């Protein structure tokens, strides 16, 4: 673990009491919204509002004034901060992700159209400190991935894969082990990039070394780059334990600083940390180091292009608390950037968003089960609620198709 556990500073409710209408407008908007949804809000006095029936998910509003003031002051941040602060919670018998799914399914329609013109009043610009410059990227990556190897090890499968698994669609999910599904994902990425014996592989984003290990076991040589010192340390140990150290080099290096030629370039859920400003640079670097006849395989979280355009310049809860500097691309954006700035072209796309919902569900279940082991690492109850919300919020996004994930194969157009 790093020297100190992270300090989480929530916006004080005293400051929120002075904003706009002290939450009255937010309360009216929320009530009007949930009236059309299969969900209910329950207040401390037992009053319920919403369009859901007896079996619908129930959200308990513990501190109404604080919650609606947060929502009014910071619409894109207030819901998550309210959960972290204990202003609201899922009622007994209601799963948090299930309660968030009705909202995720209507994400683009939650705010009434007349109020969309007022976005500038409440939207917050992305802080310049989160720009993914060479220095900024190191800081942004460290803020999440250097939290603690022990933290991630507590809820990930033995492969330490922190990205979506791929489950076998021909078998019931309940019969499938997460580790088996994560190995299937890694092997699919390597297959998509045509990694074989003798391949020279560049991996952008090491994780904890599983992909590099499996590429080496195929007989490839691997250069893997990461900005997380914690990840690199554990990845090197796992690579040594697997007996493939002579085939794998792990560098604490930015992808922009890589030189050389590689037959395959692979990158699993790293593009989300690049930032739109640097998508051109990211793909141009891949194009530059890809040897003639080589192939690229990336696994990317995706959103619809119109949602990307609507949200890319505003500051949200995930960026503030989980992935500073992060931005999820669209498939259209990837096609356009590679078309306009590289010789790379998308050849194949395999989407499996519902598998990510299942992956996140299992991570959250394990996180909650093993909290008694995680807490002594230096994390408090606010951190616990932050991660519960993060995992449930993302699960709801994938389950309702607001988000997707795909493995994408690219190659140079002249080699097609």
Residue 326 carries which DSSP code? Answer: -
Closest CA to 82 of 144, 21, 26: 26
What 3-state DSSP class applies to 20? coil
**256: which 2 tokens?**
């922009």
| pLDDT, greater one: 352 or 413 | 352
What 3-state DSSP class applies to 358? helix
| pLDDT, greater one: 102 or 132 | 102
Predicted local distance difference test score (pLDDT) of residue 128: 59
Which domains, ranges and CATH numbers included, belong to the chain?
13-122 (no CATH), 129-415 (3.40.50.150)
Q: Which helix (H) or strand (E) holds 289?
A: helix 279-289
Print burial letters for 53-63: b (CB count within 10 Å at least 16), e (below 16): eeebbbbbbbb
Q: How many residues does the chain have?
A: 416
Alpha helices in 86-227 (DSSP H): 96-105, 113-116, 119-122, 134-145, 149-155, 178-192, 210-217
Class of residue 98 by CB neighbours under 10 A (exposed 0-12, middle 13-18, buried 19+): middle
Predicted local distance difference test score (pLDDT) of residue 118: 46
Predicted local distance difference test score (pLDDT) of residue 413: 79
Confidence band (pLDDT; 50, 70, 90) for 86? very high
pTM of the entire predicted model: 0.90
**Strand duo 344-351 + 58-61: pairing:** unpaired
pLDDT higher than 80, residue 136: no
Strands (E), 34-161: 40-42, 48-49, 58-61, 88-90
Confidence band (pLDDT; 50, 70, 90) for 76? confident
Closest CA to 374 of 152, 163, 178: 152
| pLDDT, greater one: 7 or 347 | 347
Residue 391's Cβ-side half-sphere holds a number of Cα atoms within 13 Å equal to 23
pLDDT higher than 80, residue 107: no
Q: Name, of 22-36, 101-115, 179-193, the range with top average pLDDT.
A: 179-193
| pLDDT over 90, % of the chain | 75
What 3-state DSSP class applies to 138? helix
């Amino acid at each position: 673990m790093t020297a100190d556990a992270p300090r989480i500073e929530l916006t004080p409710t005293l400051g929120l009491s002075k904003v706009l209408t002290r939450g009255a407008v937010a309360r009216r908007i929320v009530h009007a919204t949930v009236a059309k949804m299969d969900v209910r809000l329950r207040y401390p006095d037992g009053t319920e509002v919403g369009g859901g029936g007896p079996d619908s998910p129930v959200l308990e509003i513990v501190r109404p004034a604080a919650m609606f003031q947060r929502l009014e002051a910071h619409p894109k941040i207030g819901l998550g901060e309210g959960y972290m602060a204990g202003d609201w919670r899922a009622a007994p018998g209601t799963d948090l992700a299930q309660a968030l799914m009705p909202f995720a399914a209507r994400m683009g329609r939650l705010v009434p159209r007349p109020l969309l013109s007022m976005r500038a009043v409440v939207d917050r610009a992305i802080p310049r400190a989160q720009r993914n410059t060479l220095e900024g990227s190191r800081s942004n990556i460290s803020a999440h991935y250097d939290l603690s190897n022990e933290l991630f090890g507590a809820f990930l499968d033995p492969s330490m894969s922190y990205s979506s698994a791929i489950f076998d669609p021909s078998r019931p999910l309940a019969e499938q082990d997460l580790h088996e599904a994560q190995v299937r994902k890694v092997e699919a990425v390597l297959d998509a990039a045509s990694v074989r014996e003798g391949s020279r592989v560049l991996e952008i984003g090491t994780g904890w070394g599983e992909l590099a290990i499996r590429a080496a076991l195929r007989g490839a040589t691997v250069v893997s780059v990461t900005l997380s010192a914690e990840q690199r340390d554990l990845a090197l140990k796992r690579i040594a334990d697997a007996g493939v150290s002579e085939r794998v080099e792990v560098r604490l290096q930015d992808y922009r600083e890589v030189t050389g030629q590689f037959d395959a370039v692979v990158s699993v859920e790293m593009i989300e940390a690049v930032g739109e400003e640097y998508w051109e640079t990211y793909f141009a670097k891949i194009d530059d180091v890809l040897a003639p006849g080589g192939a690229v395989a990336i696994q990317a979280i995706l959103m619809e292009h119109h949602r990307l355009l609507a949200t890319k310049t505003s500051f949200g809860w995930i960026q503030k608390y989980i992935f500073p500097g992060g931005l999820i691309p669209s498939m259209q954006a990837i096609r356009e950037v590679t078309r306009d700035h590289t010789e790379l072209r998308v050849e194949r796309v395999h989407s499996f968003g519902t598998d990510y919902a299942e992956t996140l569900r299992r991570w959250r279940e394990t996180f909650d089960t093993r909290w008694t082991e995680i807490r002594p690492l230096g994390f408090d109850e606010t951190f616990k609620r932050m991660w519960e919300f993060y995992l449930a919020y993302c699960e709801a996004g994938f389950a309702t198709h607001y988000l997707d994930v795909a493995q994408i194969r690219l190659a140079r157009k002249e080699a097609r």
